[in-house]
Structure formats: structure tokens, C-alpha cells
Chain A
Amino acid sequence: EPEVTQTPSHQVTQMGQEVILRCVPISNHLYFYWYRQILGQKVEFLVSFYNNEISEKSEIFDDQFSVERPDGSNFTLKIRSTKLEDSAMYFCASRGASGREEQYFGPGTRLTVT
């Protein structure tokens, strides 16, 4: 069964450093998402991406964040200058062409900012 994959599973970085989180969505999906989950809290929407552009973003997704689909398979989330409060689990998700489909989540990347 196709699945969303994410790398790395755990990333440790120092405050102020740039990080790139990588995701490979399900191959025939068209909508891509990033979510964040701070430990013990609910999953929060960051951004959605469709047709090579951001279609929606939350207040969390400020200028420090960017997304890119550099090729036909990868979908990346970049944090330019990490802060301690960026420490969280980051989930990538993808969805098929129909607006009625559920989102399929990757296993997540645990980001620790020290």
C-alpha cells in the first residue's frame, strides 16, 4: 500500500540554524500539507500546497517557513532560523485529486532545537 514517507525521523539543530524537512507524498496525490504537533498538544495546520504554490497557510507559517516541491516526488519544509519553540513533531500529509478524500500522514519528523 502506498504511503507518505518523511526524512529524517529525528533532527536536532541549534537555535538559529536552518533545517529542511523532507517528505515524499503518495505518487498520484495532488495536495500536500505540513502540520505541526508540539509535544502533548493537538496537531496544527501549517500550510497546504497545490499546483506548485501555497494554497493556504496558518498564522504559524510566518516568513521563517517556506515550502517547495523541487521535483516530482519531494515536498520540503524549510525553517530558516530555528527557534526553541519550533521544537515539535512535523507531519507531512498528502491527498488525492478529489476534495472528498482523507489526508494520508507520514510518520513525522521530530525536530529538537537546542
Chain B
Amino acid sequence: AQTVTQSQPEMSVQEAETVTLSCTYDTSESNYYLFWYKQPPSRQMILVIRQEAYKQQNATENRFSVNFQKAAKSFSLKISDSQLGDTAMYFCAFGNTGNQFYFGTGTSLTVIP
């Protein structure tokens, strides 16, 4: 079975600074996908970024980037130039070509003005 671990229940960062959220996972599969979802107070789950395991290049989306270490099964999210609107719960998720996603327990990020 797949497991996803987020070891930081809460984090905070000053506005305009950079923060890194960590995620590790365990799987025996070779073909899979990793995602970071953001859940603001509105509770809607919003996709932040995705990474295909077969790609060596780390995904980036504007201020968001990942550090994907396949051998270490690590998938961290870096948020640069943090903004107040980044305050949210962040979930790391693992998806394979099967049907379900496996979510971590989440990291609550607070951006401090």
C-alpha cells in the first residue's frame, strides 16, 4: 500500500520569504504521480503543482517549485516570495495509474504579514 507522510503539522513564514514543506512517500510502483494540493479556509482543494515520477526535471509553477528525489521518495514544495493568500492547508498526494489518491495529513501554513 502507498503511504504519504507530512512531518510538519504547522509552519509559518514571513511574507515575501521562502518556505519549504516536506513530504515523503512509500511505494513499490515505478510509474506514479505526485501532487501538492492547497486547501484554503474556504476548504476547496486546489491543485498547486504536479510531478510525474518518470521526469527527472523538477516541476515549477510560478512561485511554486518542487524538489523531487525519487530514490529518497521525497517530494518537497518550495514557495518563494510568500504571499498572504498562500495561507492554507497543504496536502501532498500520491497518485498511480489506478484509481485513488493517497493524501498526507497536511501542513498548515501561515504567512505572517
Q: How many residues of chain A have a CB within 8 Å of chain B?
A: 26
CB distance from B52 to the nearest CB of A (A): 7
Task: Check B97–A45 contact: CB distance below 8 A.
Answer: no
Task: Check B44–A103 contact: CB distance below 8 A.
Answer: no
Q: A91-B45, A102-B33, A105-B45 are in contact. Are A33 and B52 (CB under 8 A)?
A: no
In-complex Cβ contact of B43 among A44, A50, A89, A104 (8 A): A89
For residue A99, CB closer than 8 A to chain B, the reply is yes
For residue B68, CB closer than 8 A to chain A, the reply is no
A103 and B43 alpha carbons, distance in the complex (Å): 16
Q: How many residues of chain B have a CB within 8 Å of chain A?
A: 23
Q: State the main secondary structure of chain A at its contact with B.
A: strand
**A residues near B43, Cβ cutoff 8 Å:** 89, 107-108, 110
Task: Check A31–B95 contact: CB distance below 8 A.
Answer: no
A35 and B104 alpha carbons, distance in the complex (Å): 13
A55 and B104 alpha carbons, distance in the complex (Å): 23
Task: Check A103–B98 contact: CB distance below 8 A.
Answer: no
Contacting residues of chain B (23-56) with chain A, CB-CB under 8 angstroms: 33, 35, 37, 42-47, 50, 52
**A residues near B46, Cβ cutoff 8 Å:** 105
Task: Check B104–A108 contact: CB distance below 8 A.
Answer: no
**A residues near B33, Cβ cutoff 8 Å:** 100, 102
**B residues near A35, Cβ cutoff 8 Å:** 101
For residue B105, CB closer than 8 A to chain A, the reply is yes
In-complex Cβ contact of B100 among A45, A91, A108, A110 (8 A): A45
A42 and B89 alpha carbons, distance in the complex (Å): 10
Contacting residues of chain A (61-114) with chain B, CB-CB under 8 angstroms: 89, 91, 93, 99-100, 102-108, 110
Task: Check B99–A48 contact: CB distance below 8 A.
Answer: yes
CB distance from B37 to the nearest CB of A (A): 8
Q: A100-B52, A107-B42 are in contact. Are A43 and B91 (CB under 8 A)?
A: yes
Task: Check B44–A108 contact: CB distance below 8 A.
Answer: yes
